[in-house]
Amino acid sequence: MLKKNGGLFISQSKVMIVLGSASDYKIAQKAVNVFEEMEINYDLRVASAHRTHHRLKDMILNETEGVEVIIAIAGLAAHLPGVIAAQTTKPVIAVPVDVKLGGLDSLLSSTEMQLGTPVATMGVDRGDNAAWLACQIIACNDEKLKKELKEKRNAYNTKIQKSEEELIEKIAGKHYQKTEYNKQEITPVEKNYKLDPDTKVVIVSGNYSNMETVRKIIQTLETLKIQCEYKVVSATRDPNKLEKYIKDIDDDVDVYIAVSSLSTILTGVIVSLTTKPVIGVPCITRLSGIDSILSMIEMPPGVPTATMGLDAGENAALFVARIFSIYDDEIKEELMKFMKTLHRNVYYE
């Protein structure tokens, strides 16, 4: 985006990176490296949610008009992402930092947000994945960037092949013997899947046990006038069907929402098959849901999952609306109306 300044036009930053402390610069550096590689303009700021609250509020309210995504990096109590999300309708991505407790304290502080203030949380110290998610969000309205992300994902095959060759050279001994390639026939999935042209969001769950969470997502999206489709397909029982489904519809989808519990393999598979934003909603079944949230959020570099809080279907839908609000004024208006109704119900009735 170009912004006029004193008769001249300057390039506007698309992403604002906010650090709660400058000591977390190494985590921010991971995000910076991605943006430099993808040639996306970014701003770097330092502001504490607790020690410099008014500075942070002023920054978010008055300096983010042209910004499309905000990345908040914080450790310990990690209230920074939530405070930012409360002051804006921009998508906010949280990067929890490992200061104590392995970063679990900051991870839970970031994900477990109240209804109305969704935060997409990355794995601990994963500044790089925050940047990749930001790229995916920006690409929703940028065809050139969308194509570049696909090319970047395809390049991983070459990188992995090189890593394998280096590994063999480094540690293989006299008994190393490469297995033979023996191509197996896989029964193809005959059905071709197609979306309604107005569908922007696809919700996928592995089974029907999480229907209450899915219902909340669909209901909220309908209120915001965002059309969606819901599909039940297992990543472990029907892996070929899931792969075919994503392949058939991916060019027509803007955002996926994956609802999953226990080991969230479903979310990881969807992320591996697309470069579109994937919002993950972990659900509580056993271990108070901690198994779901950790297996969903701790993704390797380059394949981020925008993880919400446990069972937080409404916040997943609201985060989708924040993404679309960047370039769709009608959805932004619906989001603002929804938020006013939500605040009135919570605080005044």
pLDDT tens for 140-169 read 999 999 999 999 999 998 999 999 999 999
Write the DSSP symbol of residue 30. Answer: H
Neighbouring CB atoms inside 10 A of 306's CB total 33
Pick the CATH number of 9-139 from 3.40.50.150, 3.40.50.1970, 3.40.50.10490, 1.25.40.90: 3.40.50.1970
pTM, to two decimals:
0.93
Q: 201-331 has which CATH code?
A: 3.40.50.1970
Q: How many whole angstroms separate alpha carbon 259 and alpha carbon 238?
A: 16
pLDDT tens for 284-314 read 998 999 999 999 999 999 999 999 999 999 9
The three-state secondary structure class of 347 is helix
Region 65-84: what's the mean pLDDT? Answer: 95
- Of all residues in the chain, the percent with pLDDT exceeding 70 is 95
Q: How many whole angstroms separate alpha carbon 267 and alpha carbon 270?
A: 5
The three-state secondary structure class of 132 is helix
Query: Among all chains, which residue has been given the structure tokens 């949230």?
Result: 293
pLDDT tens for 248-297 read 999 999 999 999 998 899 999 999 999 999 999 999 998 999 999 999 99
Residues of the chain with CATH 3.40.50.1970: 9-139, 201-331
